[in-house]
Amino acid sequence: MHWFRFAVLVCIVTVLQAGFLANLDIKPDLLLTLLVFFAVYCNTTEAIITSFVLGFAADIIGYAMGPQTISFGLLGTALAYLHRVIAIRKMSYQALTIFLTCFLAGIVVHFLTFLKGRPTCSDMYAVLFWTSLCSAIVGPFLFSPYAWLMRMKINRFC
């Protein structure tokens, strides 16, 4: 793993998520697609470390500190261990994994934010569904640029 490249990639994706995509009503969660990418293409230890770092980056641009670090860390760890058993290499499997991970992470974040006493929007589950769907559509197409930036070789057709 090239950790300097990882740090640069996280900074770029965080700026894109917070800056350019902030004005859209329904936007993909690029940090979560990055989490699924590293959970699929890295070994277990690296996937767990990257999950917590990506969760921390999501908390920095979020409205409450902590919930996304916890949810990204838990789900990234679960995906890393699940990937030992099930190969998530086809684009359709990756899209389904991104959708489920985004939806579950959103539910965990909503629950943890509720426990902290922060207000949430009334149509939170509708926004969460559309964000998960948009992330699932866009996410697998971003895996090739992520791999190119990280200098990883991925086989898209196994």
* The predicted structure's pLDDT at residue 84: 84
* 88 within domain boundaries: yes
* 103 within domain boundaries: yes
Q: What is the pTM of this model?
A: 0.88
* 158 within domain boundaries: no
- Average pLDDT of the residues of the chain: 88
Domain with 59 in it: 3-17+26-150
- pLDDT tens-digit readout, 43-95: 999 999 999 999 999 999 877 788 899 999 999 999 999 988 888 888 899 99
One-character DSSP codes across the chain: --HHHHHHHHHHHHHIIIIISTT-SS---HHHHHHHHHHHHS-HHHHHHHHHHHHHHHHHHSSSSSHHHHHHHHHHHHHHHHHHHS---SHHHHHHHHHHHHHHHHHHHHHHHHHHT----TTHHHHHHHHHHHHHHHHHHHHHHHHHHHT----TT-
* 31 within domain boundaries: yes
* 123 within domain boundaries: yes
Cβ 147 vs Cβ 41: under 8 Å: yes
* 96 within domain boundaries: yes
The total of structural domains in the chain comes to 1
158 band by pLDDT with thresholds 50, 70 and 90: very low
* The predicted structure's pLDDT at residue 133: 94
* The predicted structure's pLDDT at residue 154: 75
26 band by pLDDT with thresholds 50, 70 and 90: confident
* 32 within domain boundaries: yes
